[in-house]
Amino acid sequence: MDDLAGSSEINMADVAERAGVSTATVSRALRDLPGVSERTRLRIKAIADELAYVVSPEASRLAKGATGRIAIVAPRMDVWFYSRMLACVEEVLSDADMDVLMYQVDGRQQRNRFFRDLPARRKVDAVVLIALPVLQDEVERLDLMGVEVVVAGGEIGSFPHVRVDDFEVAVTAVGHLVELGHRRIAMIRTSDTDGAYWSADAERSRGYLAALASAGLDADPAYLVTMPFGPRAGADGMARLLELDVPPTAVFAYSDEVALGAYRHLLAAGLRVPEQMSLIGVDGHPIADLFGLSSVVQSVAEQGRLAGRMALDLLSGRQLQNRHVVVPTHLELRGSTAPPGAPGGLDNLPG
């Protein structure tokens, strides 16, 4: 035991082993972050003092925001939601004379590389994650990076975040379809294919099922279609729904882009919206207005700006008034939803 004390090789894992806790807990305790009881925090600090464990000078400089750099991380940059939010985060940070590093980490392999390489190669003062799907071990690595972390457009662990209430988004969309009289309501969702947790997808799926249950409707598993994240998700999801013996009369799509893909497939199949299929999306994509797509609009720009300011506040040492900010949404009704049973509609087909 005494051999460890004062050793220049002491690291956070040694403190964690002595305390009988995870390295993530040690990290939180030494940085006075929430999620650790006061008793455990004091015990960890006492062990760190006993072992003469100190944060490296480089880590200390990072904690003070010495590099002037902030990383923005998104799974995709060619999707409207991510590119719009990224632009708004970057605008706020650049106005504050911060250098911005942008990382696209699509899939587990790229995420692993990011978490592994960033601390060693390109030091930053903070990381802003834009709706990034993560696995639990990646959440723990984030905790150990020694920099401030802010989540935009979603929720990861206990990190400060700016988001919408994705559960309520789904309840609003499906509730609108129920009020129109629809009883066969499907959802086309997208999911990260490596099994990572994606808060927006998980909460919208949960809200869809809850809204059906609240209306006394059974949730047909065939109506909850999961497609790989990508530009064909909406079209391929709608194709699957139309192959059912009893297709739905309305579809709630995970996003406006997914809904627009579904819309395109309906047109190609010679079906009319909303006479033969009602369709509603999420986001407030500018193209949705051109197509007359009903949507639950979330202020993507506002979420991005708030997340950028939150990162700056953390680096300046200012106390966050609210670590978990929820931005309101609203239902924008256009021409893609209508009551079922219109002449020639799918509701009048056999079955």
Are 137 and 260 found together in one domain?
no
Are 245 and 271 found together in one domain?
yes
Are 79 and 132 found together in one domain?
yes
Mean pLDDT of the region 16-35: 78
Are 247 and 343 found together in one domain?
yes
Are 141 and 251 found together in one domain?
no
Range list of H helices, 220-255 = 233-242
Domain that residue 216 falls in: 166-297+331-348
| The length of the chain, given as a count of residues | 351
Mean pLDDT of the region 74-89: 93
The single residue listed with the structure tokens 């988001």 is: 163
How many CA within 13 A on the CB side of residue 92?
A: 21
Beta bridge partners of 250: 185, 278
Give a yes or no: residue 1 inside a domain: no
Given a cut of 90, whether residue 318 has pLDDT beyond it is: no
Query: Residue 18: how many CB atoms within 10 A of its CB?
Result: 18
C-alpha gyration radius of the chain:
24
Q: What is the pLDDT of residue 341?
A: 74
Task: Return mean pLDDT, the chain.
Answer: 86
Are 177 and 272 found together in one domain?
yes
Work out how many domains the chain is built from and give that number: 3
Closest by CA to 186, choosing from 95, 97, 247, is: 247
User: In angstroms, rounded to a whole number, what is the distance separating the alpha carbons of residues 41 and 280?
Assistant: 48
Q: What is the pLDDT of residue 123?
A: 77
Beta bridge partners of 204: none
Structure confidence by residue, pLDDT tens digits, 96-152: 989 999 989 887 788 878 877 765 555 788 999 999 888 887 887 787 777 889 999
Structure confidence by residue, pLDDT tens digits, 169-214: 999 999 999 999 999 999 999 875 566 778 888 999 999 999 999 9
User: In angstroms, rounded to a whole number, what is the distance separating the alpha carbons of residues 255 and 188?
Assistant: 9
Are 170 and 136 found together in one domain?
no
Given a cut of 70, whether residue 347 has pLDDT beyond it is: no
Range from 18-32, 66-80, 282-296 carrying the lowest mean pLDDT: 18-32
**Strand 324-326 and strand 329-332: pairing?**
unpaired
Are 17 and 119 found together in one domain?
no
